[in-house]
Chains A and B, each alone.
Chain A
Amino acid sequence: MLGEAIIKGMAVTAKNFAGSYVSKDRLPTIQYPEERQVLSEAVRNFPFLVYDGDDWEKGLRCVSCQICEKECPPKCIYIVKSKDKKPDYLGKPQLYPAIFDIDLSVCMSCGICAEVCPFEAIMMDQDFELSNADRFGGLLVNKEQLARSHDHHMRIRPSEAGPIEERRAAAQAKAKAAAEAKAKAAAGKPADGGD
């Protein structure tokens, strides 16, 4: 009969329409911003710079090796190395970025900077509410705006931040022990020399 399949199709739409009232599966709409979807841990948006401790300027992990700047596909990272050095978490003197800018209007959220960073200093954030009235200056973010604490990283991506934290704590303990041993040896030496 002509039109039979159309009636069958109508039955399908009717089933979906009625189903949308009872089955969550058939009505996937979320009433943003009142309702919010739980983001999965892997979600990545724009990069941020990780710092340890409370002071972002002191705790910044970045040593301005400029690997991310070189590997960034759209070249949205701009780094100027510092002239002086400051001690890192192991007490070793390291350079730090005098300027670290990312142009978010150029960044394509690929995550390669976070992947290639050997110091675990740059990670991908999940903050997506970044609308701005100034599309030039407003989206060019400096290192102060990029700095996020390690706790933030732990909150958004615990399975990535956890092992990093353990590794760094172990290295720190080892460095501390080595420094103590060295100090002890140094303390003992003058006494030996005096003899």
Chain B
Amino acid sequence: MSAVLDHPASPQGAEPSITPPQASGTPVFAVTPRAREDGGIGSDLLEVSMGPQHPSTHGVFRMDVVLDGEVVVKLKPVFGYLHRNHEKIAEGTSYLASMPYTDRLDYFCSMTNNWAYALTVERLAGLAVPERAEYLRVILAELTRLQNHASLCGFLLQDMGAMGTPLMYAFREREKIIDLFEAISGARMMCNFMRFGGCRCDAPRGWLQQAARVVDAYPAFLDEFETLLNENEIIMARTQGVGKVSAEQATGASLTGPILRASGVNYDVRKVDRYGIYDRFEFRVPLGDHGDTYDRYMMRVLESRESIRILQQALRDIPEGPIIDPKSKLRGFKPPVGECYGRIEAPKGELGFYLISDGSTNPFRYHVRPPSLINLTILEDMCVGHSVADSVIILGSIDIVLGEVDR
């Protein structure tokens, strides 16, 4: 009991404001002592199991929260409800057959998942990617970032109680990008587009012009979205100072992506690793000051603006040429013996794949470093001391997709 009450969020030294457990007889419902010896969540505070079917948890995710009145005292994220053996399946199938499964990790951003996996296998097998394919990959990855950030902002506002409007505006814009994905890859979300050493097919005629039109129209949407939301008093009251993460905490928990940069840490894999051809583009990495939910929201908007700059440069410079390395082959693909870690800056953070090849058609070990899962580990530190309603928007601002968390 004291272990829980020593927490800074609880009144220090004061008597708990709830009915104390009775020594004998029938315990009072909801304040029943549930102390456990094994150190798990156990207290005489109210323990609530939020999820796994709670709409605010963005999927089948459960938060075991211990509440002191309305305030979160302790929180345990519980995941694994969507576990589907992704890594083990990948070790049992060919390298190519894992490509469509990577679509289903973070199902909002299948293009970047494809790229991270293809990049790793290319390093493992020593394949070179032709110029045009590199440009196409950048274009598709940045479009993915745009639509991911738009829908994240929409969902975040939905969690705050803005019923529908911002989400619908975001989805209307997302729809245009999804249509582009459909026209190039054949599927709206499960694109399965990248291949080892390039891309599956070239862009159809008129696609690049259509993409340029969508990109040129996007700033107008962002302006509208920002007018609608940025200075809104309710949003500021709900998000500013909520769920603060300091730079030390963020690096200590190995956070990556917009959530790390919202805490003011200048770390973007596109700048650090310069994978692909990102060294050719001029763009800035926006940084936050406070590391609160408002900064995390703003980070998405500002990153979208930078993505548009990258897209405009890429769409201007894209050369003609082949789309795939002639050395790569679909059937009977066997990379040499070795191991490799490849990573990219996915919209949610650093997405890495770790592969060990034993020279056969299947990877010996296949491991995913999912940004959603690792960003989620700090949830307790962010939520403690805030109300339940705030913990919902804090979770929303982390931007998780359960397909990636559980794999």
Q: Which residues of A line the B interface, CB within 8 A?
A: 2-6, 8-9, 12-13, 16, 26, 28, 40-44, 67, 71-73, 108-112, 115-116, 124, 159
Contact = CB atoms under 8 A, between A and B. Distances in A.
Contacts of B23: none
Contacts of A42: 182-186, 201, 204
Contacts, number: 78
Interface stretch (B227-235, B346-354, B370-378): B227-235
A5 to B, nearest CB: 4
Candidate in A71, A110, A159 with the most chain B CB atoms within 10 angstroms:
A110
Q: How large is the interface on B (under 10, 10 to 19, 20 to 34, 35 or more residues)?
A: 35 or more
Interface string B324-345: 0000001100000000000000
Contact of A73 (B101, B186, B224, B233): B101
Lowest 8 CB-CB distances: which A-B pairs, in order? A110-B100, A5-B231, A44-B186, A73-B97, A42-B186, A40-B183, A12-B228, A9-B228
A9 B94 CA distance: 52
A85 to B, nearest CB: 24
B221 to A, nearest CB: 10
Interface of B: 93-94, 96-101, 103, 165, 169, 172, 175, 179, 182-187, 190, 192, 200-201, 204, 224, 227-234, 330-331
Decide if the interface of chain B is mainly helix, strand, loop or mixed. Answer: helix
8 contacts: A5-B230, A5-B232, A5-B233, A13-B165, A40-B182, A42-B184, A71-B330, A109-B187
Contacts of A112: 96-97, 99-100, 192
Nearest to A75: B93
B229 A43 contact: no
Nearest to B232: A5
B229 A9 contact: yes
Candidate in A3, A5, A111 with the most chain B CB atoms within 10 angstroms:
A5
A44 B189 CA distance: 12
Contact of A124 (B97, B179, B186, B201): B186
A162 to B, nearest CB: 14
Contact of A109 (B96, B179, B190): B190
A73 B227 contact: no
Candidate in A3, A71, A72 with the most chain B CB atoms within 10 angstroms:
A71
A16 B200 contact: no
Given A40-B182, A42-B204, A6 B234 contact: yes
Contacts of B97: 71-73, 112
B7 to A, nearest CB: 35
Contacts of B94: 71
Nearest to B205: A159
Contacts of B331: 67, 71, 116
Contacts of A16: 169
B228 A73 contact: no
Contacts of A108: 100, 190
A101 B92 CA distance: 23
A5 B204 CA distance: 43
A115 B185 contact: no
Contacts of B182: 40, 42-43
A6 B233 contact: yes
A111 B186 contact: yes
A2 B233 CA distance: 7
Candidate in B183, B184, B186 with the most chain A CB atoms within 10 angstroms:
B186
A26 B165 CA distance: 13
